[in-house]
Amino acid sequence: MRNIKFIFFIFFIIPFLSTTLSAEKNYFSEGEKLFKKKNFTKSKFQFEKDIVFNPKNEKSYLYLAKIYKLEKKDEFEEQNLKTVILLDPKNEEAIYLLTLLKIKQSNYEKSNQLIKNFEAVCSNLCDNQKELKEKIKDLQPK
C-alpha cells in the first residue's frame, strides 16, 4: 500500500506541482512581453496574476503603475508606485514616476521631498533631476 501511495505521488503530484510552479514564474515574463507589444489589458492581467504568486515582486507593481499612468488612473498608479517604494525604497524609477504624479497633482511639499529622495538614490536616471526641478518651479509657494 505504501508503494502505491509513493507511485501516485511520483507520477501525479510532483508533475502537477512543477507545472504549477513553472506557470507562476512565467506570469511576469509574459506580462513584460505583452507590455512591450503595447497590449496593456492582457499584460495587466499577467502582472496581477504574478502578484498573486509573488506578492513581493516590485517589478510587477511598477509595470502596473506604468499601465495605470497610460490609462490616466492616478489613484491606482500612485498605489502601485507606493508599493514599489515600500518593497524597495531605492527604486529610482518609482520615485521619479511618483514625483511626476505629485507635481501633476500640484503637491509641492511631497514633490519636493520626493525630489530629495530621488537625488539621494539616483544612479541611472540622474539626468531627470533637472527636469523635475524645472517642473516643480511652477508649484513653488510665492
How high does pLDDT run on average in the chain?
A: 87
Name the residue among 67, 88, 84, 87 with its Cα closest to residue 98: 84
Model confidence at 4: pLDDT above 80: no
> 58-70 and 14-36 are packed helices; what angle lies between their axes, rounded to 10 degrees?
40
Task: Read off the pTM.
Answer: 0.79
Distance of CA 105 to CAs 48, 58, 100, 111, Å? 26, 24, 9, 9
Q: How far apart are CA 122 and CA 114, in angstroms?
A: 12
What sign does the dihedral 110-116-120-121 (CA atoms) show?
positive
pLDDT of residue 24 exceeding 70, the answer is no
Q: For residue 7, is pLDDT > 80?
A: no
Q: Kindly report, residue by residue over 122-132, the tens digit of the pLDDT.
A: 888 888 888 88
The pLDDT of residue 1 is above 70: no
